[in-house]
């Protein structure tokens, strides 16, 4: 067989997928895999949903694609209204895109154009956390705090400030107000040294996703960041590409904390793996200011097409109809209990943290000192390979900034039932033995 012309990343040859149903996938040899990470935290409704297919086919038969500057479409308007209602009207405007990177990129560009329109062009830099991941396009990469991805583009993408976020595993408990105070003070010092008048916005995930292994922020920290943004006159952009659309048990993760952003990016779960759909939501006055000064200079060809929006709408309607957020809470509780008992059993499981059906497991060489495994041991890759052998997909990462070590995410579809949650934990336990 000649080598495939496809290239994504280095690594072993991959099995060929055959088909999928619910939380399971099969490869062409007949091996079955439990999708413990929803692909890349995208297939939130599991695979093979006939209700989503029916909605997509109905729209396909009417019209699949129109360009957003030529026609309005009923699914686009309905999905925009639905998204606004999920924020309880706190964010009133919606701009559609096709991916998470595009959603973040759109928020960055809208924020910059807002300040240009307000005659504050000196605001030209963003503040974000290290470690963090906000996307692969150059703007989104510019606010990403992840050295291996940043390094080749350091001369092209520069100017953003990277500040440390709270790390309750290494520096205190979730209740440890002192840690939050010191992180916020350090952040203030860095921003004051750079010049608060140069800042466009703070960009962060309300619950850390893949880059931190579901590291939790807390209400006090997010309130502190909101207060800093208000004091310095800059905006708060929340990246809910991964956490949005129910993943943490609320429609948007910020709703757990009562801190409202000015702009929000979401994607992955919105199309739920059935079609690429993302959205940037914004405060109406920000959009009005930009629109009054010549419009938003940004857009992508496939953004907001009728088929994409009909898919997003069908996903949210299915979630509402089936009260999926209740299932997230119930299954999240079981998953947490199971992961904590694995932590009690295996000394190299340093931390288990998360919210809803977004769980991170951090692996350490020494649980007492919380020392990460040496990079060359490739623990995150090994545990992922062992899990795959056991028929379980998990989502691994190693954070290389000296802040955290190996971790993996357990993020099954939001539709998973109790029996499959138990099966997921059993397969994970076998992989860890």
Among 95, 133, 274, 275, the residue binding ligand PMP under the rule CB under 6 A is: 133
Closer Cβ to ligand PMP, 134 or 353, answer by number: 134
Alpha-carbon distance of 427 to 268, in angstroms, equals: 25
Task: Identify whether the C-beta of residue 266 lies closer than 8 Å to the C-beta of residue 279.
Answer: yes
Cβ-based neighbour number of residue 333 at 10 Å: 13
Among 46, 131, 135, 244, binds ligand PMP (CB under 6 A): 135
Query: How far is it, in rounded angstroms, from Cα 105 to Cα 409?
Result: 25
Piece of the chain touching ligand PMP by CB under 6 A; list 236-244, 307-315, 366-374, 396-404: 236-244
> Binder to ligand PMP among 100, 145, 350, 360 (CB under 6 A)?
100
Nearer to ligand PMP, 9 or 369 (CB): 9
CA dist 342 and 361 (Å) reads 10
Q: Does 96 bind ligand PMP (CB under 6 A)?
A: no
Backbone angles phi, psi at 356, to 5 degrees: 60, -125
- Please say which residue, 243 or 260, places its beta carbon nearer to ligand PMP: 243
Q: Which one, 135 or 350, has the nearer CB to ligand PMP?
A: 135
Which is it for the CA torsion 130, 136, 138, 139, positive or negative?
negative
Choices 94-102, 152-160, 215-223, 416-424 (CB under 6 A): range interacting with ligand PMP: 94-102
Is residue 210 involved in binding ligand PMP (CB under 6 A)?
A: yes
Number of residues that bind ligand PMP (CB under 6 A): 15
Q: Between 215 and 427, name the residue whose CB sits nearer to ligand PMP.
A: 215
- The residue within the footprint of ligand PMP, chosen from 73, 87, 99, 266 (CB under 6 A), is 99
What would you report as the CA-atom Rg of the chain, rounded to the nearest whole angstrom? 21
Buried b / exposed e over 390-406, threshold 16 CB at 10 Å, is: bbbbbbbbbbebebbbb
* CB-count burial class (<10 Å; 0-12, 13-18, 19+) for 325: middle
Please enumerate in sequence order all residues whose Cβ is within 8 A of that of 69, keeping only pairs 6 or more positions apart, or say none: none
**Ramachandran assignment for 135, one of left (phi > 0), alpha (psi -120 to 50 degrees), beta (any other):** left
DSSP 9-23: -SSSPPPPEEEEEBT
- Please pick, from the candidates 209, 249, 304, 391, the single residue that binds ligand PMP as defined by CB under 6 A: 209
Specify the 3-state DSSP secondary structure of 406. Answer: strand
Closest CB to ligand PMP: residue number? 100
Per-position x/- string for 48-87, each x denoting binding to ligand PMP as judged by CB under 6 A, each - no binding: ----------------------------------------
Which one of 45-53, 106-114, 128-136, 350-358 is the stretch in contact with ligand PMP (CB under 6 A)? 128-136
Q: Given the complex with ligand PMP, which of 59 and 106 has the nearer CB atom?
A: 106
- Of 259-278, which residues contact ligand PMP (CB under 6 A)? 267
Closest distance of CB 99 from ligand PMP, Å? 4
| Shortest distance in whole angstroms from residue 283 CB to ligand PMP | 20
Residue 155 sits at the vertex; the CA angle it makes with 149 and 159, to the nearest 5 degrees, is 90
Which residues, other chains included, contact 267 with Cβ-Cβ below 8 Å and sequence gap of 6+?
97, 99, 100, 102, 103, 241, 244, 276, 277, 278, 279
- Cβ nearer to ligand PMP, comparing 218 with 239: 239
CA distances (Å), origin 411, targets 39, 191, 209: 9, 34, 10
Q: How far apart are CA 176 and CA 39, in angstroms?
A: 34
Minimal distance in Å, beta carbon 100 to ligand PMP?
A: 2
Q: How far is the CB of 38 from ligand PMP (least distance, A)?
A: 12
CB of 354 to ligand PMP, least distance (A): 14
Least distance from C-beta 205 to ligand PMP, angstroms?
A: 5
Binding to ligand PMP (CB under 6 A) within 334-353 occurs at none
Q: Partners of 372 in the beta sheet? A: 364
Query: Which one among 242, 280, 361, 425 touches ligand PMP, defined by CB under 6 A?
Result: 242
229 vs 267, which CB is nearer to ligand PMP?
A: 267
Out of 228, 229, 237, 241, name the contact with ligand PMP by CB under 6 A.
Answer: 241
The Cα–Cα gap between 238 and 143 comes to 12
Separation of alpha carbons 360 and 354, rounded Å: 6
Does position 134 interact with ligand PMP (CB under 6 A)? The reply is: yes
Q: Give contact residues for ligand PMP (rule: CB under 6 A).
A: 99-101, 104, 133-136, 205, 209-210, 239, 241-242, 267
């Amino acid at each position: 067989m000649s080598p495939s012309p496809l290239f994504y990343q280095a690594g072993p040859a991959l099995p060929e997928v055959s088909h999928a149903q619910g939380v399971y996938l099969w490869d062409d040899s007949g091996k079955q895999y439990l999708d413990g990470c929803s692909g890349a935290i995208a297939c939130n409704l599991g695979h093979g949903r006939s209700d989503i297919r029916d909605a997509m086919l109905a729209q396909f038969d009417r019209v699949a694609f129109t360009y957003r500057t030529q026609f309005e479409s009923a699914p686009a308007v309905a999905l925009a209204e639905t998204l606004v209602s999920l924020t309880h009207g706190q964010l009133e405007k919606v701009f559609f895109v096709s991916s998470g990177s595009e959603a973040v990129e759109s928020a960055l560009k809208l924020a910059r154009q807002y300040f240009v329109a307000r005659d504050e062009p000196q605001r030209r830099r963003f503040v974000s956390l290290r470690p963090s991941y906000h996307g692969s396009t150059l703007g989104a990469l510019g606010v990403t705090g992840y050295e291996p991805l940043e390094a080749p583009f350091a001369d092209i993408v520069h100017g953003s400030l990277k500040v440390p976020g709270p790390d309750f595993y290494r520096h205190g408990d979730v209740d440890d107000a002192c840690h939050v105070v010191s992180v916020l003070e350090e952040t203030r010092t860095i921003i004051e040294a750079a010049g608060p008048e140069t800042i466009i916005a703070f960009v962060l995930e309300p619950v850390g996703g893949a880059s931190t292994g579901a590291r939790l922020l807390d209400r006090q920290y997010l309130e502190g960041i909101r207060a800093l943004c208000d004091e310095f006159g800059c905006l708060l952009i929340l990246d809910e590409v991964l956490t949005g659309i129910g993943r943490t048990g609320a429609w948007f993760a910020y709703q757990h904390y009562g801190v409202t952003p000015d702009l929000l990016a979401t994607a992955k779960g919105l199309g739920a793996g059935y079609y690429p759909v993302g959205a940037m939501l914004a405060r109406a006055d920000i959009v009005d200011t930009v629109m009054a000064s010549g419009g938003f200079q940004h857009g992508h060809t496939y953004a907001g097409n009728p088929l994409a929006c009909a898919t997003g709408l069908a996903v949210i309607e299915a979630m509402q109809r089936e009260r999926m957020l209740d299932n997230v809470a119930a299954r999240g509780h079981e998953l947490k209990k199971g992961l904590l008992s694995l932590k009690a059993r295996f000394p190299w499981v340093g931390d288990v943290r998360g919210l809803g059906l977004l769980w991170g497991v951090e692996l350490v060489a020494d649980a007492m000192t919380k020392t990460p495994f040496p990079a060359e041991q490739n623990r995150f890759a090994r545990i992922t390979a062992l899990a795959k052998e056991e028929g379980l997909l998990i989502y691994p990462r190693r954070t290389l900034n000296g802040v955290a070590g190996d971790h993996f995410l357990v993020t099954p579809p939001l539709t998973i039932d109790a029996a499959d949650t138990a099966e997921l934990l059993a397969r994970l336990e076998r992989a860890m033995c």
